[in-house]
Chains A and B, each alone.
Chain A
Amino acid sequence: MQELVNLFIKSIFVDNMVFAFFLGMCSFLAVSKNVKTAKGLGIAVVFVLGITLPINFILNKYVMEPGALAWLNPKYASLDLSFLSFIVFIAVIASFTQLVEMIVEKFAPALYNSLGIFLPLIAVNCAILGGSLFMQERHYETLAQATTFALGSGIGWFLAIVALAAIREKLSYSNIPAPLRGLGITFIMVGLMGIAFMSFMGIKL
């Protein structure tokens, strides 16, 4: 249990998806102009990450790892399907976002109207695929670990985008050199936020 809590805190702050690995940058920069939409996208990311990552974990553990098919028949113990992982992961994520979009549209129209446009965007958000690839590379052992990691990194992404959106809202009152306005200053700001987040790196859990 303690180990899971550590993993959770670590994936929110120390290994933050945005500031430590630059994942999900495109939508991070594009959809952070105001806090309300940033919140919507952040929640959608937590949601999709929290569901696709465990699915991919199960697929990886029981289908694609070297020797993973041994449970089906001892003959298959020498098979290694790990080269298929990219295509399987992205297919799960893309079909899942499409599915979630349909379900949310049918059963929670209010939520759909607030998230609607962001859901399809999430299929190509690298934070989601990145989560699955990190899960594979770091060899998480149990489903609980994988789920904790997914929720932690989702929440880390959520915090980052809401913080950036809040700063950008304030920014409209400041006097910035013309060529730096908009995109340029945003990049520099994200860099500075990243430096601030690095102070968490010293934490040993």
Chain B
Amino acid sequence: MNKKIFIEPLFRNNPITVLVLGICSALAVTVKLEPAIVMALSVTIVTGFSSFIVSILRNTIPNRIRIIVQLVVVAMLVILVDQILKAYAYDVSKQLSVFVGLIITNCIIMGRIEAYALGNKPLPSLIDGLANGLGYGIILVIIAFVRELFGSGTVLGHAVIPAGWYIKNGGFYENNGLFILPPMALIIVGLIIWVQRSISKDLIEK
């Protein structure tokens, strides 16, 4: 049972490509692989633990003000993540700038709390939250990998395209600057959706 909760969001029910949640803060951090990995981890942690905490509180939260209560729980976790990043990974935290704060309004988190944690026990909610965070992370890492490879010719900051290939060194290759620009992230997500829906045909929309 728990295994199924964990596997589903990674591919079949992926939050980004199938449920269309959490695109907001995701795409701007995918120019390079490193911030994307940090962002994926932060979101996974926040999604998991906010689902866990809300699930513990689910029978005591009055229905009318639940959105504010949920936002406060999420905001508290995000503040913790932000302070930890500022203390131990200052450079990445600067690169992520406002997007750490925007984890609060990441629709994956509110979506999972509303759809799952409010009606389920703490442990399955924790697993569901973590798995959705990871499903989001996988897409983020794929996009960042493609963009960094074609856009700057590096992976995690290490050059992978041989220096001799570049035109300025007498070769034939040039980095594609378009991949650094924001719109390319959207087009890559579109292509990922295309591939995924060609594999599992039942996801195709009419």
Interface residues of A (CB under 8 A from B): 19-26, 29-30, 83-87, 89-91, 94-95, 98, 120, 123-126, 128-130, 133-134, 137, 177-188, 190-195, 198
Does B149 lie at the interface of the complex (its beta carbon under 8 Å from any beta carbon of A)? no
Distance in angstroms between the alpha carbons of A133 and B101 in the assembled complex? 8
A194 x B104 contact (CB < 8 A): no
A26 x B21 contact (CB < 8 A): yes
B193 x A187 contact (CB < 8 A): yes
B190 x A184 contact (CB < 8 A): yes
State which size class the interface on B falls in: 35 or more
B67 x A120 contact (CB < 8 A): yes
* A188-B22 CB under 8 A given contacts A86-B82, A87-B79, A181-B206: no
List residues of chain A with CB within 8 A of the CB of B68.
Answer: 91, 94-95, 98
B24 x A191 contact (CB < 8 A): no
Q: Show 28 residue pairs from A and B whose CB-CB distance is below 8 angstroms, ordered by the A residue.
A: A19-B182, A19-B183, A22-B27, A24-B24, A25-B24, A25-B27, A26-B107, A83-B79, A83-B83, A86-B82, A87-B79, A90-B104, A98-B67, A124-B105, A126-B25, A129-B102, A134-B98, A137-B97, A179-B201, A179-B204, A181-B205, A183-B193, A187-B186, A187-B193, A192-B183, A194-B182, A195-B181, A198-B183
CB distance from B103 to the nearest CB of A (A): 9
Distance in angstroms between the alpha carbons of A87 and B91 in the assembled complex? 23
Within 1-44 of B, Cβ neighbours of A (below 8 Å) are at 17, 20-28
B67 x A94 contact (CB < 8 A): yes
List residues of chain B with CB within 8 A of the CB of A83.
Answer: 79, 82-83
List residues of chain B with CB within 8 A of the CB of A187.
Answer: 186-187, 189-190, 193
Distance in angstroms between the alpha carbons of A123 and B68 in the assembled complex? 9
A181 x B204 contact (CB < 8 A): yes
A26 x B20 contact (CB < 8 A): yes
List residues of chain A with CB within 8 A of the CB of B67.
Answer: 94, 98, 120, 123-124
Distance in angstroms between the alpha carbons of A23 and B24 in the assembled complex? 5
For A19, A20, A23, A193, the residue with the greatest tally of chain B CB atoms inside 10 Å of its CB is A23
Distance in angstroms between the alpha carbons of A192 and B104 in the assembled complex? 28
For B28, B98, B194, B204, the residue with the greatest tally of chain A CB atoms inside 10 Å of its CB is B98
| In the complex, per-residue mask of B75-88: 1 if CB is within 8 Å of any chain A CB, else 0 | 11011001100000
Distance in angstroms between the alpha carbons of A91 and B187 in the assembled complex? 34
For A126, A128, A181, the residue with the greatest tally of chain B CB atoms inside 10 Å of its CB is A126
A123 x B71 contact (CB < 8 A): yes
Distance in angstroms between the alpha carbons of A128 and B102 in the assembled complex? 10
